[in-house]
Amino acid sequence: MFKLEKLSKSFTQDKSTLVAVSSVSATIQKGEKVGIIGLSGAGKSTLLKLLSMQERPDSGSLVIDDVDLLTLKGKDLLRMRKRLGFVFQGVHLISQKNVKDNIAFPFTLDKSTSKEIDSKVDHVLNLVGLSDKALAYPNTLSGGQKQRVGIARALITQPEVLLCDEPTSALDPLTTASILQCLDNVHAQTNVTLLVITHDMHVIKRLCDRVIVMHEGAFVEEGKVSEVFNSPQHPQTRLILSASEGR
């Protein structure tokens, strides 16, 4: 189980206080596919920084199986953090390293043997459908292939939760469909919990079982995707749906 409990974050600018995330809470069960959707300025970017621990919240907790990651330090935090995998909007592959070495990068300071690492890399490459690209370099890959490498790199530590930040925002519709199918396949084979942060309703509809709508730093509506989108209760949800239909 992955829980956000009353996470809050504010920033002070020009003597005024901006509340970026306002006491948000959610419980995500193992194996769920949950989307968090909101328009620009909703607080998604700050929430992502809190979930990836790039920023510490002013208050609240981030819990995996009754352990609050925000209370941990040093090796204990590193060990628990491996239970979270991150697929970011920008893949940021190392251009001088081939696909295999990019994926193995999280093991740079690990004590795993080369044989163990090779086995893990082969496994995740197979999961994302890139078994034939292990020795290829980033400049030879398409945008979709690079994103698949990013997904494989996130999976290499066998995380329990895969956090995806706008995983298709820079991709064309056909490639977007292939990445969403890839994530669906990964979920089917590993039962990893998926948490997808996006502004795109179509990503939520295609990939997720449950949706949380974010507005002005708060979670304003949540439920099964079909129920929320067929009968939206909050004005912001209706606005998102209206904007999507007008595209």
Residue 115 CB contacts under 8 Å (≥ 6 apart), including other chains:
none
CA distance 237 to 10: 24
The arithmetic mean of pLDDT across residues 65-91, rounded, is 88
CA-to-CA dists, residue 184 to 189, 212, 215, angstroms: 9, 19, 27
Tokens linked to 139: 């400049």
Q: What is the pLDDT of residue 80?
A: 85
Tokens linked to 73: 């330090």
Q: What is the pLDDT of residue 109?
A: 65
Q: What is the pLDDT of residue 234?
A: 95
Q: What is the pLDDT of residue 77?
A: 87
Judged by DSSP in three states, 23 sits in: strand
Centre a 10 Å sphere on the Cβ of residue 242 and count the other Cβ atoms it contains: 10
**Band (113; pLDDT cuts 50, 70, 90):** confident
Q: Return phi, psi of residue 140, to 5°.
A: -100, 0
Residue pLDDT, tens place only, 144-184: 999 999 999 999 989 999 999 998 887 899 999 999 999 99
Classify residue 80 by its DSSP letter: H
- Is 220's pLDDT higher than 90? yes
CA triple 162-163-164, angle to 5 deg: 115
**With b meaning 16 or more CB within 10 Å and e meaning fewer, what string describes 202-228?**
ebbebbbebbbbbbebbbbbbbebeeb
For a pLDDT cut of 70, what percent of the chain falls above it? 98
Q: What is the pLDDT of residue 244?
A: 75
Which range of 10-19, 69-78, 113-122, 228-237 scores highest in mean pLDDT? It is 228-237
Q: Which residue has the higher pLDDT, 29 or 75?
A: 29
User: How many CA atoms lie less than 13 Å away from 128 in the CB half-sphere?
Assistant: 28
The arithmetic mean of pLDDT across residues 24-34, rounded, is 96
Q: What is the pLDDT of residue 148?
A: 95
Evaluated on CA atoms 102, 104, 108, 113, the torsion sign reads negative
CA neighbor of 34 nearest in space, from 174, 219, 235, 178? 219
The arithmetic mean of pLDDT across residues 42-53, rounded, is 90
6, 60 Cβ separation under 8 angstroms:
yes
- Is 223's pLDDT higher than 90? yes
The arithmetic mean of pLDDT across residues 127-134, rounded, is 95
Q: What is the pLDDT of residue 33?
A: 97
Q: What is the pLDDT of residue 245?
A: 67
How would you class 235 by CB atoms within 10 Å of its CB: exposed for 0-12, middle for 13-18, buried for 19 or more?
A: exposed
CA distance 100 to 122: 8
Q: What is the pLDDT of residue 114?
A: 85
Q: What is the pLDDT of residue 246?
A: 54
Pairing status of strand 193-198 against strand 33-37: parallel
**Band (24; pLDDT cuts 50, 70, 90):** very high
Q: What is the pLDDT of residue 224?
A: 96
Q: What is the pLDDT of residue 103?
A: 94
The arithmetic mean of pLDDT across residues 226-245, rounded, is 90
